């Protein structure tokens, strides 16, 4: 039960406070909602999302004629799942091409856990019987190529690389050729995480995407933005910047095990309209989990 253990810190921060709140109040009034609002904000659910959630809770409490504070918890759970799903069937499903090469591009600033995530996903896909290849497209950060190679050895997946400082678009070109030649199912592409200069970032990502698309029409099939949950609202700022720079199709939220503010999942989904496709719940190979709103909310309260 990875979600339960991975969310321990958030659970301590969030549900203990909610339980405490519910125990202290005899009726549901404005003060009750104000305290609940504060708890949600402290869990990094995000101001806008908290306001929407509180409004909906108030309506639901009225509609169902709920008087007892202890009955509010299940309504909160329900609303959290609703907000996350946003009426979509399976917002978290990875766009995998059946019987054809799927290309997944990873973007994100240094240190967020991009390399680790690529390694973990390579492992997960391999476990599912897929042939995977990784492309060392971060030719900028010292040590990035070696680090991906370490993961390659660990999970038994080939890494296509050039030397440090070389053109990432050339690496991608070779990686696509290799993936085709080896009949690979999935190509996982690392990229450099320079955010200091948005114009350069945009240009580099555009060039890399152009090379991939020229070789495989319709690719990349996913552009996954990796964000570090422990950076809280800073992760939101990064998400906005990357969203402007490229078409982000999903988010991988890492280090959820290391934060008490796991509410960021909801803020990202509700305010940026990007689904969280995976969460990192630890440093080990099998600590990457497809995100599941129900398991997440269950992990928060149980």
Residues in contact with ligand GDP by CB under 6 A are 108, 110-116, 254-255, 257-258, 280-283, 287
Report whether 115 belongs to an annotated binding site. yes
| CB burial readout 71-106, b (16+ within 10 A) else e | ebeeebeebbbebbbeeeeebbebeeeeeebbbbbb
Going by C-alpha positions, the residue among 189, 118, 179 that lies closest to residue 154 is: 118
> Is 129 flagged in the annotation as binding?
no
Q: Are strands 102-107 and 250-254 parallel, antiparallel or unpaired?
A: unpaired
- The separation between CA 50 and the C-alpha centre of its own chain, rounded to angstroms, equals 20
Shortest reach from residue 225's CB to ligand GDP, in Å: 11
Give least dist CB 283 to ligand GDP, A.
4
Residue 193 marked as a ligand binder: yes
The CA angle 130-134-139, to the nearest 5 degrees, is 170
Q: Which residue lies nearer to ligand GDP by CB, 91 or 282?
A: 282
Residue 28 or 252 with smaller CB distance to ligand GDP: 252
- Confirm whether residue 227 is marked as ligand binding: no
Residue 113 assigned ligand-binding role:
yes
Q: How far is CA 272 from CA 17, 59, 222, 251, in A?
A: 27, 24, 17, 11
Residue nearest to ligand GDP (CB): 280
The pair of structure tokens assigned to 218 is 């319709």
Nearest-approach distance from CB 5 to ligand GDP, in angstroms? 12
Q: What are the distances in angstroms from CA 198 to CA 194, 206, 213, 218, 225?
A: 8, 12, 22, 25, 15
Query: Which residue lies nearer to ligand GDP by CB, 36 or 107?
Result: 107
Work out the burial of residue 272: count CB atoms within 10 Å of its CB; fewer than 13 is exposed, 13-18 middle, 19 or more buried.
middle
Between 111 and 218, whose beta carbon lies closer to ligand GDP? 111
What is the DSSP secondary-structure string of 192-214? ----S-HHHHHHHHHHHHHHHHH
Closest to ligand GDP by CB, 232 or 258: 258
The nearest distance, CB 14 to ligand GDP, in angstroms, is: 19
SS3 295: helix
CB of 190 to ligand GDP, least distance (A): 8
Per the annotation, does 257 bind a ligand? yes
Question: Shortest distance, CB of residue 149 to ligand GDP, whole angstroms?
Answer: 13
Q: Would you say 11 or 255 has its CB closer to ligand GDP?
A: 255
Q: Is 256 annotated as a binding residue?
A: yes
* 114 labelled binding-site residue: yes
Adjacent-strand bridge partners of 103:
187
Q: Residue 43: which H helix or E strand, with range?
A: none
> Which C-beta is closer to ligand GDP: that of 79 or that of 277?
277
C-alpha span between 224 and 202 (Å, rounded) = 15
Minimum separation from the CB atom of position 112 to ligand GDP (A): 4
Q: Binding site: residue ranges? A: 108-115, 190-194, 254-257
Binding positions for GTP are 108-115, 190-194, 254-257
């Amino acid at each position: 039960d990875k979600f339960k253990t991975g969310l321990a810190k958030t659970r301590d921060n969030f549900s203990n406070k909610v339980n405490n709140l519910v125990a202290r109040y005899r009726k549901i009034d404005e003060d009750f909602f104000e305290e609940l609002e504060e708890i949600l904000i402290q869990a990094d659910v995000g101001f806008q999302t908290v306001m929407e959630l509180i409004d909906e809770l108030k309506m639901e409490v009225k509609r169902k004629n709920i008087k007892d504070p202890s009955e509010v918890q299940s309504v909160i759970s329900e609303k959290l799942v609703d907000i996350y799903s946003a009426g979509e069937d399976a917002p978290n499903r990875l766009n995998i091409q059946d019987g054809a090469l799927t290309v997944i591009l990873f973007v994100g600033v240094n240190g967020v856990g991009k390399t680790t995530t690529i390694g973990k996903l390579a492992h997960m896909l391999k476990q599912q019987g897929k042939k995977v290849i990784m492309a060392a497209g971060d030719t900028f950060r010292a040590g990035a190529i070696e680090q991906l190679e370490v993961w390659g050895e660990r999970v038994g997946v080939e890494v296509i690389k050039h030397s440090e400082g070389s053109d990432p678009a050339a690496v991608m070109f070779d990686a696509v050729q290799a993936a085709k030649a080896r009949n690979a199912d999935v190509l996982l592409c690392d990229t450099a995480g320079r955010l200091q200069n948005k114009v350069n970032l945009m240009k580099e990502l555009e060039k890399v995407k152009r090379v991939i698309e020229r070789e495989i029409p319709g690719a990349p099939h996913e552009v996954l933005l990796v964000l570090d949950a422990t950076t809280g609202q800073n992760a939101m700022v990064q998400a906005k910047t990357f969203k402007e720079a490229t078409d982000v199709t999903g988010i991988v939220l890492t280090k959820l095990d290391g934060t008490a503010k796991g509410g960021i999942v909801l803020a990202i989904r509700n305010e940026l309209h990007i689904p969280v496709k995976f969460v990192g719940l630890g440093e080990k190979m099998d600590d990457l989990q497809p995100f599941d709103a129900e398991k997440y909310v269950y992990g928060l309260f149980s």
